[in-house]
Amino acid sequence: MSNEIRVRFAPSPTGYLHVGSLRTALYNYLYAKKTGGKFILRIEDTDQSRYVDGAVENLISTLKTMGLNYDEGPIINGDFGPYYQSERTEIYQRYVDELIEKGKAYRCFCTEKDLVRMRQERKTRGLDTRYNGQCLSLGKQEINDNLKKGKKYVIRLKIPKEGEITFYDIVREKVTFPWDMVDDQILIKSDGFPTYHLANVIDDHLMQISHVIRGEEWLSSVPKHLFLYEAFGWKPPKMCHLPLLLNADKSKLSKRQGDVAVEDFLKKGYLPETLLNFVALLGWHTPGNEELFTLQELEKAFSLKRINKSGSVFDLEKLNWMNGHYLRELDLKVIGQYAKKYFQQAGYKIENEQHYNELVEIARKRITTLEEVTEFAKPFFSKLVFTKENIEILSSTTSQTLFEYWIDKMEENQEMSETLINKLLKQSAQELGIKGKNLYPPLRLALYGSEHGPELPTIMDILGKEKVITRLGDCLK
């Protein structure tokens, strides 16, 4: 084992990347960057029944979108591959044979029917429903007979029945589990594939993982893992279990109460910069409790010692506030690039890059997510629809006189500029005697579809001279 810090993010390809998994990936990435270590991506795909086609590609793509580039893993590779557990099954088999020889694991020939009966019996007696260790008592001859008959079996860990285990966790500090709370975990399933628990320990050792940073739900598995490390004579990595992510009602964050996939939030127009900043604070804080960080700033500030013990509430209001901040503060070109796909999805053709950027600049001060940008932009790209009340304003004598005046003046001038627009507004008041609510609201309504909105010079500049004349003409009786 080297002294290098090596951490891993090891998801199962069972669907989209959960925001909780994003936090786990982020904390591993940040710790590697802070310490000059390596961030490894490993795909734990041994449960073939839960494998989802395209999940690995989506996972890698999402990590790339979020800026969390790994040092070793699929595509990139390294000295400790392969990085798909399904390609490492021969390795696991060698080690599980060693466990059986050492008396640390055993074959279990119980059928699913047997297991259902056992669980029911234990439940009736008021006990937990874990495996009762029935196959522990099988003799060598009986085991050989079962193997000759071709009976299916799994391999289970032989956990001590008495005493307790104590270990140190970076977040939880001293943790103790009685052995009678730990079950004889299946290590190899009847299909020959290893379970998470065996593959995880072997791979972490062979890949020289120095710190295991993962969700709190895995804390109860640590006794099994440490038992395996001891059985193999290996030094275990340091453990760090992250607090749960909670809904507003303090229940565990789940799909039942809304979106939890990173992909969902990105589609809705939350920025990658926002999501990284937001999830970083779900369980971690700085001494000064600052809230706004770039990824580079997080790399410098992050510390495992400042991870909270208690669960963190996924506060959608705070996420919206933070996204609004990034929409306003990031470089306009960055926001413009992010926004383009929403314009394309809406069928809005961008013909003038300058006018597009001007529109995005106005929109980003008024929206919470990029998904809303097309609704804001709609009046510039779609035919305006007027209510009965709108039509009454547009068809009034003063409005009709105003529109005719502006069409004539626009056609007289080759170029439309802010100077010209302000001049015509002034002349409209002086020459036509049209002022205040009879001047600005009708023009804005005719050009933008609402009496309220951006400044008139801005609206006209984005529309362009021809469209301004056309829209004013459409409003003439």
Q: List the domain boundaries for the chain.
A: 1-72+243-329, 89-242, 331-377, 383-477
Superfamily of domain 89-242: HUPs (3.40.50.620)
Query: How many CB atoms are located within 10 Å of the residue 301 CB?
Result: 18
Fold (CATH) for 1-72+243-329: Rossmann fold (3.40.50)
| CA torsion, ordered 328, 331, 333, 339, to nearest 10 deg | -30
Residues of the chain falling short of pLDDT 50: none
Does a cis peptide bond (omega within 30 degrees of 0) precede residue 82?
yes
Which pairing describes strands 173-178 and 186-188: parallel, antiparallel, or unpaired? Answer: unpaired
pLDDT at 2: 65
Q: Alpha-carbon distance 178 to 194, whole Å?
A: 25
pLDDT at 1: 53
pLDDT at 333: 95
Give the CATH class of 383-477.
mainly alpha
**What does the chain come to in residues?**
477
pLDDT at 46: 83
Nearest to 100 by CA among 135, 129, 132: 135
pLDDT at 49: 74
pLDDT at 133: 86
Q: Alpha-carbon distance 416 to 467, whole Å?
A: 12
DSSP 235: P
331-377: which CATH architecture? Orthogonal Bundle (1.10)
pLDDT at 251: 87
Is there a shared CATH topology between the 1-72+243-329 domain and the 89-242 domain? yes
| CA torsion, ordered 337, 342, 347, 349, to nearest 10 deg | -20
Q: Alpha-carbon distance 464 to 13, whole Å?
A: 50
Active site residue ranges: 255
Phi, psi of 438 (to 5 degrees): -90, -5
